[in-house]
Structure 1
């Protein structure tokens, strides 16, 4: 079978149809597990043939078999990367334009994986030519995508435009980029160029896209396409804030590294991995207008609040994509730090955190109601921060004691996140007076929480004694406990006048029991 159709020749229609039929048959054979080796060889021959672009485009435009279209897109990518040095500048741009036009013309398609593949081909080829393309060629690419993203061509195309930008950002981020046979320096240059010249603009486009559909979402009583568009836009913003920014300045890391919690005895390493994952977001001062001064945080909190108020009684709300994306983006905005804030003694950053906390606390207060709602399959008013934190921790520990399961439940995850929060609050800067970190009510809260922690762990250990899997539990428990002991110790040290007598009493009681058992057995 011949696949080598050069762009400067008009391929024979019969040959194009024969190629398409062969690829369709190969895809069907693989799916039906009929002679898969021969089928794979047929597909490979298309990918490896010289300049198969006309044949691949014919398959994409005419085949009724989605897998055949997917393989045709993959063949365009492989051939273009392999033959990049031999293609003219015009042909390179032409291939990218074809892919863009294809996904937008087929925006209503139900085969999302084919659309995603063609989009990724466009963005990979765009990256491959990034350092050689003229500014006008890049601008033409972005202008076409922008017209889609702002919604001027309809909601389906708007969604496709956002997903193209998602694919582009993914390709330019070193941790998610696709190998194209070029050295690391090439990828770093592309990453730097996108970060300095385009990344903030893409974020703003995502904001605009989300803003353009939110009113319809809030006002609608049925599932509408705008939800899909808004979810994709929020996801793109989150993806960008997960970018490893290189051109920002911050003293956070050096400050963290200077902290040593214990002057003697037990060593607590604040640089060790957290049980709950988070990352500082440090985009630098050029992002201040977009993230700090634009009202972006207020809009996002208002959007989530309105959606939560409207849909929280529905069982699907907690895990629906738009809710998940909005919450994750809010968490990322909580992680903003560094030079994105002005040098005003922390006033702007404090206002930023206060605004976020004011919105977030509404989801988790009162904690007992929230805990019961989660256990009933539903999602999530004003306490002091320490009081709220301790009340939340108490509810989580109570649920852990009530469930008594080896499976990792929501309360396991919540406990680890809250322990990380306690740890952050209790890392002392003055090693001689660690308890002075908390006000009197905070010390009392820490004492109560530590008592519940001890009760919870003792109950779990007691339950394991009667289990047939006690030995397995012991090993797992020791490993898991090692990760929590440092946090437990910090909480205990914050209320040492209460926690040390508590531990002394508990140890005394248990030694007496052991002594009694020993006496009876002898």
Structure 2
């Protein structure tokens, strides 16, 4: 066991050495951050060498504590936190359990005491804490995350919004460190070690994070609308954490060894937890909570994004969490109860459309058609009616985006997701009663044609006029429509085949009016 004395007035020699190290770092920082016309290349390289040398210091813990408590330089604070993070990993076997817990506690106290830290400094210190917890995951010396959860609970219960946001940052750092993404720190852990830690975290602590979020969401749901500024700040952060949990890529039971250093980059991750999550995620009240929270969050674009992403992930629930098809159907009905009520009671804002389209797509991708047909008739009918209405609505606005040549194409992205959803549905059209989707297919087909052809049969010129762009300009700027809209045309073609008695005569009429 290695025990170091605290750097205070009792040990003058160590205090002087720590103060000298701090001065050296501050001087080096001034040079590193100075404009290139002020310092020479040799001076900058020498200053960088000082910082790198400090980061390799053996047993730097007391010196780092002294610097954290005394320096006024944000960059020095950042480098000091980085030094601690690297030293803990490098010298783990030299530290006792008491040393490790003392350092973790010191860093968390430091964060709560210095609330005006620059965000990048705070995040680096919290990442250091997360690395300490991760390194101890598989080691008896590690205290686990229990003490951290205790600290988080205490901060949230404090009623101080600053402390509550610090607690949220602590949980975010923890999730980042254990996740399979580029957000995990570059601490030198092997992929095998990271994966074992991630699997352990999933089994012991990930659900605790989610339950903590549910507790806060329940408290906010009980607050009157409109929410206070403080409540909005906390809700935004908690929704972000909840989204991260619901977007977690759970480790498969049988995981093949992969190339070292490989992290997941899959942008489409479905919610596939194990059986331990049944009591939580299959609870009807939990689903209804998320829909109620979205009604509070939807007036803030950032919060609405997190909230609708949570709903989209809940719509993708799949895997062993469902014991049988009956359980899957029950969950689907509970979800649709909230989703259909939401769609019927609000007018979507522009930033909600893509999330709603993603939710529709996930539902149709993850739940087979027999599950929908097992629901009350009103559910399936209401679902396809909303799909039809929103597909046509997004299609018209997507055409406007195209005419405006907007860089931000949220309606186009939403429209394409809705069309993909219809492709999934009509692939099983033979399972439905004859003619079940003909009215919906006709409406979407007609709407698409109207938005992409000129009068008298369409409104393309009207869209261009509203956008202030003429057809000749569009022709000069754009690639051939057959290439640009090939995916959309495939989907529209599939819908046209559902209604050949309508689509073929209509296309023939349009062709005749255009070329004769």
Q: 1:464 touches 1:473 (CA, 8 Å); kept in 2?
A: no
Question: What is the RMSD of the two structures over their aligned residues, measured on CA atoms?
Answer: 3.6
Write the mapping of 1:98-247 to structure 2, written as runs, cut at 5 A.
Answer: 98-106=106-114, 108-133=115-140, 137-138=143-144, 140-148=146-154, 150-152=156-158, 154-175=160-181, 176-216=183-223, 218=225, 220=227, 222-224=228-230, 226-246=231-251
CA-CA distance at 1:280 after TM superposition: 2.2
What do residues 239-265 of structure 1 show as CA deviations (whole Å, max 9, x unaligned)?
11111123689xxxxxxxxxxxxxxxx
Structure 1 residue ranges without an equivalent (≥5): 250-273, 375-381, 514-522
Write the mapping of 1:256-295 to structure 2, written as runs, cut at 5 A.
Answer: 278-293=268-283, 295=285
Q: 1:242 touches 1:281 (CA, 8 Å); kept in 2?
A: yes
Q: Report the counterpart of residue 254 of structure 1 in structure 2.
A: none
Q: Report the counterpart of residue 446 of structure 2 in structure 1.
A: 448
Q: Report the counterpart of residue 16 of structure 1 in structure 2.
A: 18
Change in 2 beyond 3 A, CA 1:160/1:373: closer
Stretch of structure 1 that moved more, 395-404 or 486-495 = 395-404
Stretch of structure 1 that moved more, 440-449 or 114-123 = 440-449
Q: Secondary structure at the match of 1:281?
A: coil
Write the mapping of 1:359-398 to structure 2, written as runs, cut at 5 A.
Answer: 359-362=341-344, 365=347, 384-398=382-396
CA-CA distance at 1:453 after TM superposition: 5.4
Q: Report the counterpart of residue 59 of structure 1 in structure 2.
A: 67
Q: 1:149 touches 1:162 (CA, 8 Å); kept in 2?
A: no
Structure 2 residue ranges without an equivalent (≥5): 255-265, 354-378
Change in 2 beyond 3 A, CA 1:371/1:407: closer
Q: Report the counterpart of residue 419 of structure 1 in structure 2.
A: 419
What do residues 306-360 of structure 1 show as CA deviations (whole Å, max 9, x unaligned)?
455xxx4xxxx3x2x3333222212222222333345352431232221232243
CA-CA distance at 1:43 after TM superposition: 1.6
- C-alpha distance in structure 2 between counterparts of 1:7 and 1:482, whole Å: 68
- C-alpha distance in structure 1 between counterparts of 2:145 and 2:398, whole Å: 55
CA-CA distance at 1:434 after TM superposition: 9.1
**TM-score normalised by structure 1 residue count:** 0.76
CA-CA distance at 1:392 after TM superposition: 2.3
CA-CA distance at 1:213 after TM superposition: 4.2
Change in 2 beyond 3 A, CA 1:401/1:488: same
Does residue 296 in structure 1 map to residue 286 in structure 2? yes
CA-CA distance at 1:285 after TM superposition: 2.8
Q: 1:213 touches 1:230 (CA, 8 Å); kept in 2?
A: yes
Does residue 343 in structure 1 map to residue 324 in structure 2? yes
Alignment coverage as a number of residue pairs: 455
CA-CA distance at 1:47 after TM superposition: 0.6
Q: Report the counterpart of residue 88 of structure 2 in structure 1.
A: 80
- C-alpha distance in structure 1 between counterparts of 2:93 and 2:31, whole Å: 35
- C-alpha distance in structure 1 between counterparts of 2:109 and 2:185, whole Å: 22
- C-alpha distance in structure 2 between counterparts of 1:301 and 1:248, whole Å: 32
- C-alpha distance in structure 1 between counterparts of 2:204 and 2:340, whole Å: 34
CA-CA distance at 1:183 after TM superposition: 2.6
CA-CA distance at 1:84 after TM superposition: 2.6
- C-alpha distance in structure 1 between counterparts of 2:307 and 2:112, whole Å: 26
- C-alpha distance in structure 2 between counterparts of 1:247 and 1:25, whole Å: 50
